[in-house]
Amino acid sequence: MSIFSFLTQEIAIDLGTANTIIIHNDKIVVDEPSIVAVDTKSGKLIAIGDRARQMHGKTHENIKTIRPLKDGVIADFNAAEQMIRGMIKMVNKKSQLFTPALKMVVSIPSGSTEVEIRAVRDSSEHAGGRDVYMIYEPMAAALGIGLDVEAPEGSMVVDIGGGTTEIAVIALGGIVCNQSIRIAGDGFTADIQAYMRHQHNIKIGERTAEEIKIAVGSALPDLEVPPNDFVVRGPNLMTAMPIEIPVSYQEIAHCLEKSLNKVEAAIVSVLEQTPPELYADIVQKGIYLSGGGALLKGLAKRLTDKVNITFHVAEDPLHAVARGAGIALKYVDKFPFLMR
């Protein structure tokens, strides 16, 4: 073992639109919202992650909160770099005499263009990455779920993140066919905001819409174990007076219908492109759901009924991609699908 391996720190990053997760030594060491707060005058970083999220929607003119990623790709290069750097610092909280060189595996959407891939690589290198490898999200999700991606059989993964839904058929260590659509968790949140505005004349922020989605978000209008209604408080758009409205899961199922139909169409489209031998494997094994969107109540049942293939929700859907990137980090030389 060379001296350099002691001076190198290995981390895997799931750089998500909604959350960024960092894995070090097989442990999740950072799991924070992908958001930063900066001083508008000096451009200095004030807070990142959870602290910045608490400020989101509550700032004055001297502070602004930025979500550096939009639709799975970097929208604000400078903020993304500050966020990655700040989150890597969280890993190295213990005071060290030197900053170790970083070997990183970063997950990216499977529909990323060359320019988008370069943006992630540059941000990672500027934040201190010496060896930066990329892995496509559905491939990382498959590894994290525990599928044998190098086997000569087909596995299908649907990863519903914050910015994109990634659908891929994987075999022999590569992606056979895939689709990446920009309808995912953030889209669902926007649907809920619009629905509350039109239907109930109430204005709600992104954070409240997110809370509604977590509490009563559903893909089906009739669930076996229905959640209690969620009470929303906010200003009436007509009178600006405060109002309270209970929201049921049936309403949310109705308002997410359009977006979920698009996700279904994309899944069917990928199945249409799948070679028949792999299709047979998928029918036998089922399709795996990962990402935060997989936690939507009744989603697996809805998709199973629609596509006629069993859908399984991954054990820890929120962290599947990060865990997969962590596995890839250990076998950097062995996996041919990692990109330099």
Range of the domain at 195: 185-255
DSSP-H helix ranges across 10-166: 50-55, 77-91, 114-126, 137-145
DSSP single-letter state for residue 308: S
CA distance between the termini of the chain: 23
Q: Chain centroid to CA 248: how far?
A: 26
pLDDT for the residue 223: 92
Give the CATH number for residue 191: 3.90.640.10
pLDDT for the residue 98: 61
- Flag whether 336 is in a domain: no
Same domain, 206 and 270: no
Are 193 and 204 a contacting pair, CB within 8 Å?
yes
Rounded Cα distance, 169 and 269, in Å: 12
Give me the residues of the chain with pLDDT under 70, please: 1-6, 94-99
Are 88 and 127 a contacting pair, CB within 8 Å?
yes
pLDDT for the residue 308: 94
Q: What contacts 24+ positions apart, CB below 8 Å, involve 57-62?
A: 57/205, 57/206, 57/207
Rounded Cα distance, 38 and 24, in Å: 27
Structural element, H or E, at residue 116:
helix 114-126
- Flag whether 337 is in a domain: no
Q: Which of 255, 282, 304 is the last residue of a domain?
A: 255
pLDDT for the residue 6: 60
Are 30 and 53 a contacting pair, CB within 8 Å?
no
pLDDT for the residue 97: 55
Which pTM value belongs to this model? 0.91
Give the residue carrying structure tokens 């639109």.
Answer: 17
Give the CATH number for residue 281: 3.30.420.40
pLDDT for the residue 1: 42
